[in-house]
Amino acid sequence: MSRKRAPMRRIKEVLRLCNLGGLSERGIARATNQKKSTVRDYKIRAITTGLTWSEMADMDDASIELRLFPPSTPGAGLRPLPNWGEIHRELRRKGVTLQLLWEEYRGVHVTGYGYSRFCELYQRVEPRFDLSMRQVHKAGEKLFVDYSGQTVEIVDSQTGECRNAQIFVAVWGASNYTFAEATWTQRLHDWTGSHVRAFRYFGGCPEILVPDNLRSGVTKAWFYDPQINPTYQRLASHYGIAVIPTRPVHPKDKAKVEVGVQVVQRWILACLRHRTFFSLTEVNEAISVHLERLNLRPFRKLPGNRLSLFEQLDKPAMHPLPTTPYEFDEWKRSKVGFDSQILGPDFFPENHVRQKSA
């Protein structure tokens, strides 16, 4: 940003005192209420342009200003700007740093910015891409999963009874590539089944699953050592991935899927609001059509779309699927009675409260 220039009358006064030759630069600066460096700058400009005090007496202020401060040539001194969108996307790849990207930038533009200025400019433009808490999501690393609070109503064609289907959403951290489907419940069988179908849809699986503290996924939510549901843990072991739930009362930990759920509600469920569905299959067929359109929608601030970014980032880095998909199994805790007999799971209801005999 250019420094604010003093009025022309003050500049002329500085040059007049310089012409007298009796005052030092410090004295002229004190007399005109200017900085010593500013006085020196005006003096050098006058000497460089060959403008004398006698010539200035016959010139108007505009002509003097044009001689002392000529307009710069358009584009002179400008350095080529990096493609910040491309740099922001490349930083999501594993092992890629600003230092590496700067070296590649200088390899193309020898007269480009230095490393410190390069980093400073990126810090200025980065908030345009991430407007909230900035988290760095590496390619193929995290898949965020959750359910939408909004449901889809399904009508029984025979009885006319209405039932609400739940909407499962999975979002990749690096590319925002999204999967969504409808299930009858949020219980363990539907929860794990949605994961299996999501992995099949993506053609691979991440290193880390990031669920909310849903009962089907997390038996006991705890800040330091949450207890993962045994069935959910076996699913993770089958695919060779880790489960790291979000911290309780920390919604920004799952900001990706929160935004993903919002996008699914706006661009899929809102488009289906006038339709009447009579089966779960019919709902999922309609969701799949709009889901494809969602993943092909261009980004507003970055080049490409969810699908193209997924193919560039997450797809090459994600884990391959095992030869066989996960088969659901449910675990229940049994207890030993007072007579040393094992009381099977059928003896207790799901809340593990012992039934009283009549």
| CATH code of the domain in which 313 resides | 3.30.420.10
341 belongs to a structural domain:
no
The better pLDDT of the pair 13, 204 is held by 204
Residue carrying the six token digits 């590649």: 104
Q: Which of 23-27, 102-106, 302-306, 351-355 has the lowest mean pLDDT?
A: 351-355
What pLDDT shows up at residue 228?
79
Given 94, 129, 164, which residue is the final one in a domain?
129
Q: What is the mean pLDDT of residues 36-48?
A: 84
The better pLDDT of the pair 157, 342 is held by 157
Domain with 116, as residue range(s), is 84-129
336 belongs to a structural domain:
no
CA distance 145 to 312: 21
Q: Which residues make beta-bridge pairs with 209?
A: 143, 243
Looking at the fold, whether 97 and 57 belong to one and the same domain comes out as: no
The better pLDDT of the pair 133, 153 is held by 153
Looking at the fold, whether 113 and 174 belong to one and the same domain comes out as: no
CA distance 228 to 244: 9
271 belongs to a structural domain:
yes
Amino acid sitting at position 167: I
CA distance 345 to 26: 94
Query: CA-CA distances (angstroms) from residue 215 to 165, 170, 229, 251, 300?
Result: 18, 17, 8, 17, 36
Residue 347's nearest CA partner among 331, 327, 333 is 333
Looking at the fold, whether 313 and 218 belong to one and the same domain comes out as: yes
Given 21, 42, 68, which residue is the final one in a domain?
68
* 135 has pLDDT over 60: no
Q: Are strands 162-172 and 152-155 parallel, antiparallel or unpaired?
A: antiparallel
pTM above 0.75, yes or no: no
Looking at the fold, whether 200 and 100 belong to one and the same domain comes out as: no
Which residues, including other chains, have CB under 8 Å from residue 343's CB and lie 6 or more apart? 334, 335, 336, 337
150: left (phi over 0), alpha (psi -120 to 50) or beta: beta
Amino acid sitting at position 331: W
40 belongs to a structural domain:
yes
250 belongs to a structural domain:
yes
What pLDDT shows up at residue 1?
40
Q: What is the mean pLDDT of residues 235-259?
A: 77
Q: What is the mean pLDDT of residues 135-152?
A: 84
Hey, which of 7-11, 32-36, 131-135, 183-187 has the most confident mean pLDDT? 183-187
What pLDDT shows up at residue 20?
77
The better pLDDT of the pair 128, 316 is held by 316
What pLDDT shows up at residue 241?
92
Looking at the fold, whether 38 and 146 belong to one and the same domain comes out as: no
* Percent of the chain at pLDDT exceeding 90: 22
59 belongs to a structural domain:
yes
Looking at the fold, whether 241 and 159 belong to one and the same domain comes out as: yes
* 28 has pLDDT over 90: no
137 belongs to a structural domain:
no
Looking at the fold, whether 242 and 193 belong to one and the same domain comes out as: yes
Looking at the fold, whether 103 and 252 belong to one and the same domain comes out as: no
Query: CA-CA distances (angstroms) from residue 9 to 3, 14, 15, 61, 142?
Result: 17, 9, 10, 8, 65
CA distance 43 to 149: 71
Which run of H or E residues covers position 143? Answer: strand 142-147
Looking at the fold, whether 171 and 311 belong to one and the same domain comes out as: yes
Looking at the fold, whether 102 and 195 belong to one and the same domain comes out as: no
* Percent of the chain at pLDDT exceeding 70: 79
Looking at the fold, whether 120 and 162 belong to one and the same domain comes out as: no
Amino acid sitting at position 31: A
Q: Do the Cβ atoms of 188 and 161 come closer than 8 Å?
A: no
Report residue 352's pLDDT band, with 50, 70 and 90 as the boundaries: very low
Looking at the fold, whether 16 and 37 belong to one and the same domain comes out as: yes
What pLDDT shows up at residue 194?
93
Please tell me the total count of domains within the chain. 3
CA distance 291 to 293: 5
Which run of H or E residues covers position 191? Answer: helix 188-202
* 332 has pLDDT over 70: no
344 belongs to a structural domain:
no
